[in-house]
A and B are shown apart, each in its own frame.
Chain A
Amino acid sequence: MAITEDRPLALEAGAVTKVAARPLGALTRPQSDVGWASWFTTVDHKKIGIMYGVGSLFFFLFGGVEALMIRIQLAAPDGQFLSESLYNQVFTMHGVTMVFLVIMPMAAAFANYLLPLQVGARDVAFPRLNAFSFWCWLAGAIFLNTSWFLGGAPAGGWFAYAPNTSVTFAPGSGMDFYAIGLQIVGIASLVSAINLIVTVLNMRAPGMSLLKMPVLTWMLLVTQFLLLFAVPVITIALFLLTFDRSFGANFFNVEQGGSPLLWQHLFWIFGHPEVYILILPAFGIISEVIPTFSRKPIFGYPFMVGSGIAIGFMGWGVWAHHMFVSGVGEISVAAFSLSTMFIAVPTGVKILNWLATMWGGRLRFNTPMLFACGVIAMFTIGGLSGVTHAVAPSDTQQTDTYYIVAHFHYVIFGGSLLGMFSGFYFWWPKVFGYKLSEKWGKINFWLMLIGFNMTFGPMHVLGLQGMARRHQSYAKEDGFGFWNGIVSAGAFVIAFGTLAFLINIWLSARSAKRNPVEVGPDPWDARSLEWSTASPTPVHNFDVEPTVEFQDDWWHRKWGENEEGKIVRKAYPADIAQDGSATDVHLPSPSYWPLVLSLSLPVIGYSVIYTFWLMIPAGALFLAGFLGWALEPADDPEAAHGHADHGHDDDHDADASADAADEGASVG
């Protein structure tokens, strides 16, 4: 899917903003960028980032409730809370929700909000495509969850092994919702990945070479490349499943010689890079937090970047370690076992570099730093149990037990999610103009950390005792009762930790409203460009496009060395930061069409599941969105024509709709 618009967004201050009403049939182009309605038409990367954040937090609560239901069921032997069928749906949707509807969009929230700011740009390369990505993700997420009311949610586990997910074994439409819902979410990821790759490569501020970019930008870039190449693989896998289920294909029909291993391979060729798609953004976030709160530059920047690239690259050669017991043959097992052990090396490099960054630094343990330290410790535990899975004989013992569950929660919850929380606390003042309360932040952190270890620590023991995952209940004689009780109690402690976060937002927002405190552009004495502009970020990001000289350029503008080589302050942030007062910056105009276009996708999904007739409204929506998009200038043409003497390169401004028309045709 490629719908492009071409418009240099690094606009000169001084370009006059003209707003022209362009009636398009009954609809007039949206103009306002304030008020609740503006959120539906916005193409501002910051607003889209905030919407990703809100959406992912909503689904975090949703997936959390599912987790609590699982834990209530398993708290004691012979649980009666959930039926077998419902239990299957709940654990499947818990996994799908947390992976595709929480961690990925949360990372997208940070990517959308921060990438343009960190490279010194005014927006992403294709703002309307960016809006489309978000609405597409939301449409897919809602589509997936409507399955609860339409005959039952998917129940085949988050990796949906075929042929267990074929019509024979999964007769309801749950798996159809899974296949098509993830397809829609995948489109969102792919479009957003291409958009952000172009943004980082093409829209950097003058002087910002690739090796001066912040580590977060680098890690997000690697993530987008992983998405770019991994999403098509799951796309095909999901298509094959849909074709099997809806059109009678034989891909996973074992009776006809279809291979169950085909699904497993395709899923995990996507699935293992996906693991790094989940963790690398968090690595990036704490690579910003740790130097800031240690008051030292990141230790070994080239190694930090290099190991991130290495992880992204090696992540493609380890997928079959998810399949050691699937009968892939001993040569495969040996080879993948080896490659999996190697991938621990770049990960280890990162952990050592974070520790070396903290070593000898002047540490401040504010909430973001606490969460970052939590990530290092918890991810190390998860990484170590991961190495035990690389050892094939040991993995054979652990497969499908709670030991695996413990491992991936240590890396995904302990790594990714705690990293994201660190990011929330760190960038909150930049986004909303007030800090979250430190007191509640610490309550939040400690409840989460303790609850997390109570929940997932004992799962190692349960797994080694032989408790299988995905079983609806266990007998009293199994002897799993004690640890399961602790685990379930821990899950509720996490829930209270989450509650503390919500209370924190509420209280902090209220107190910021009652007696506003100026946080200033740079409350943490941080290092990258987003802190050189006002808080909250003005709609045009930068009054003047920044020029970059050093890695950590913003820090170098505040601090320098005196004759004795001591670090001394050169300037205060309030004096050198941009105040966001520029009013004459020309920005992309809002648009309805990304929303309209994305709405057609779930309707197509329902059409495949229920009746072909739904294709008519779906097609109408699609055409309306598509044509509207194509015919609407991406940007106000008058404003763009203000400097015709710049030669033909400039005309792309007005040409955007033309490009959109033909590129958009590859939507498919």
Chain B
Amino acid sequence: MQTLRLMLLTKEPPLADSKLSEATPAEATETVTEHTVEHGTTTGISNNKLLMWAFLGSECLLFGALISTYLLYKERFNDFAANLAPFEQDGRNIGPRFGGEDGEGVFDIPFTSISSFILLGSSLTMVLALSAIRRSEYRSFRIWTLTTAALGSVFIAGQIYEFTEFVEKGLGYSTNIFGSAFFTLTGFHGVHVSIGIVMLLATYIMHKQGRLNSDKAETVEIVGLYWHFVDVVWILIFTIVYLFPQ
């Protein structure tokens, strides 16, 4: 009986159907609590997954602050650069898609587009990895996990290349407020991707050591949540930073 009740707990509570998903948190809890046994959690959700979602909720405010700072400073930079003499010697008017009056900016949209496709693709390989480990297909799990990490690394390599290009074109971190805001926002995202790569490799190593298999697929799922979050942040950054017209 204990086993049965625990199985009940592990299933996601039937909250996806319309009636319950509209229920208030308190009501929803009541429903689940009836099944709670000593070993389960009140909501039936694993602690780790709840932790990750809470963390991601918090990250919304973090990236919100960075994106807002960027938008504000791009706007201010446009006003600021408009008042500078063309071809400022210290390059203070080098901006996203234009610099002073020479019409050339730092952005290389086709290049960044490829990076975006790569990161988007890594989200697909991530779900495939999760799906594989759930079905105990360990070989494809290993392939997809490594592919995801590799795609992430290519993205980071692209970002490093892009940053060096920008610096060569004259836009450094201290050049102007656009530079500071741009490098800070994309840099924070890059650090997040890098951490994600470390997490993926850790997952891979643990699997190799035999410490991670299909009954711990949740660990992969949690890493995946983080990875997809980093991807959605890039969806925002790509449009807001790169694609919005000047």
Is B103 on the interface with A (CB-CB < 8 A)? no
The reply to whether A655 and B216 contact each other, CB–CB distance below 8 Å, is yes
Q: A201-B42, A236-B69, A248-B174 are in contact. Are A645 and B2 (CB under 8 A)?
A: yes
Any chain B CB within 8 A of the CB of A294?
Answer: no
A206 touches B36 (CB 8 A): yes
A648 at the interface (CB under 8 A from B): yes
Q: Are A10 and B180 interface neighbours, CB within 8 A?
A: no
Contact with A along B215-233 (1 / 0, CB 8 A): 1100100110010000000
Q: How far is the CB of A151 from chain B (nearest CB, A)?
A: 24
Is the Cβ of A649 less than 8 Å from the Cβ of B65? no
Nearest to A653 among chain B residues (CB) is B39
Which of B61, B76, B215 makes the CB contact (< 8 A) with A257? B76
Instruction: Say which residue of A125, A211, A262 sits within 8 Å of B47 (CB atoms).
Output: A125
Inter-subunit contact A251/B3 (CB<8 Å): no
Residues A251 and B202 in contact in the complex (CB < 8 Å), given A6-B48, A203-B41: no
A12, A239, A256, A262: the one contacting B72 at CB < 8 Å is A262
- Contact at A666–B39, with CB atoms within 8 Å? no
Pick the interface stretch among B49-57, B109-117, B136-144, B152-160: B49-57
Docked Cα-Cα span, A235 to B59, in Å, equals: 11
Say yes or no: is B79 at the interface (Cβ < 8 Å to chain A).
Answer: yes
A229 within 8 A of B: yes
Q: Does B195 contact A650, Cβ atoms closer than 8 Å? A: no
**Contact in complex: A250, B6 (CB < 8 Å):** no
Confirm or deny: A525 has a beta carbon within 8 angstroms of a beta carbon on chain B.
no
Partner of A207, one of B33, B43, B54, B219: B33
A622-654 CB contacts (< 8 Å) to partner B: 645-652
Q: Say yes or no: A259-B180 contact (C-beta < 8 A), given A201-B43, A202-B47, A650-B39.
A: no
Q: Within residues 89 to 128 of chain A, which ones have a CB less than 8 A from any CB in chain B?
A: 125-126
Q: Which residues of A contact B21 (CB under 8 A)?
A: none
A649, B49: Cα distance in complex, Å: 13
Are B76 and A259 interface neighbours, CB within 8 A?
Answer: yes
Given contact pairs A228-B54, A232-B65, A647-B3, A203 touches B177 in the complex (Cβ within 8 A): no
Cβ of A256 and Cβ of B6 under 8 Å apart? no
Task: Say yes or no: A250 contacts B176, CB within 8 Å.
Answer: yes
Known: A4-B51, A645-B2. A662 touches B69 (CB 8 A): no
Of the listed stretches A80-88, A190-198, A480-488, chain B binds: A190-198
A614 in the interface, Cβ–Cβ < 8 Å? no
Known: A126-B51, A236-B69, A251-B69. A662 touches B203 (CB 8 A): yes
Interface residue from A8, A190, A655, A667 paired with B41 (Cβ < 8 Å): A8
Determine the chain B residues whose CB is within 8 A of the CB of A195 once the complex forms.
51
Chain A interface size band reads: 35 or more
Closest chain A residue to B222, Cβ basis: A663
Contacts of B61 in A (CB 8 A): 229-230, 232-233
Query: In the complex, A237 Cα to B65 Cα: how many Å?
Result: 8
State whether the Cβ of A462 lies closer than 8 Å to any Cβ in chain B. Answer: no
Q: Tell whether B25 is near chain A: CB-to-CB under 8 Å.
A: yes
CA distance A211 to B29 in the complex (A): 10
Q: Which residues of B contact A206 (CB under 8 A)?
A: 33, 36
Do the beta carbons of B69 and A646 come within 8 Å of each other? no
A235 near B62: Cβ-Cβ < 8 Å: yes
Whether a CB of chain A sits under 8 angstroms from the CB of B173 is: yes
Query: Which residues in chain A, 243-300, are within 8 Å of chain B measured between CB atoms?
Result: 243, 247-251, 253, 256-259, 262, 266, 269
Q: Is the CB of B180 within 8 A of A202?
A: no
User: Contact partner of A4 among B10, B48, B79, CB < 8 A?
Assistant: B48
Which of B2, B26, B41, B206 is within 8 Å of A646, CB to CB?
A: B2
What's the minimum C-beta distance from B143 to chain A, rounded to whole angstroms? 18
Q: Is the CB of B42 within 8 A of A203?
A: yes
A209 at the interface (CB under 8 A from B): yes
A210 neighbours in B (Cβ, 8 Å)? 25-26, 29
Verify B177–A661 contact, CB threshold 8 A.
no
> Which residues of A from 199 to 237 have beta carbons under 8 Å from B?
201-204, 206-211, 228-233, 235-237
B30 within 8 A of A: yes
Q: Which residues of B contact A (CB under 8 A)?
A: 2-3, 6-7, 9-10, 25-26, 29-30, 33, 36, 38-43, 45-48, 50-52, 54-55, 57-59, 61-62, 65-66, 69, 72-73, 76-77, 79-80, 92, 173-174, 176-177, 179-181, 184, 191-192, 195-196, 198-199, 202-203, 206, 211-212, 215-216, 219, 222-223, 226
Can you report 12 A-B residue pairs in the complex whose CB atoms are below 8 A from each other?
A2-B55, A4-B51, A194-B51, A206-B33, A209-B33, A210-B25, A232-B61, A257-B76, A258-B73, A545-B38, A658-B212, A662-B219
Interface residues of A (CB under 8 A from B): 2, 4, 6, 8, 10-12, 125-126, 190, 194-195, 197-198, 201-204, 206-211, 228-233, 235-237, 239-240, 243, 247-251, 253, 256-259, 262, 266, 269, 545, 645-652, 655, 657-659, 661-663, 665-668
- Beyond the given pairs A262-B69, A661-B202, 18 more chain A to chain B contacts, judged by CB atoms under 8 angstroms and listed by A's residue number, are A4-B52, A11-B38, A126-B51, A202-B47, A210-B29, A211-B26, A237-B65, A243-B184, A247-B173, A249-B174, A249-B180, A251-B73, A645-B2, A652-B48, A655-B219, A658-B206, A662-B219, A666-B226
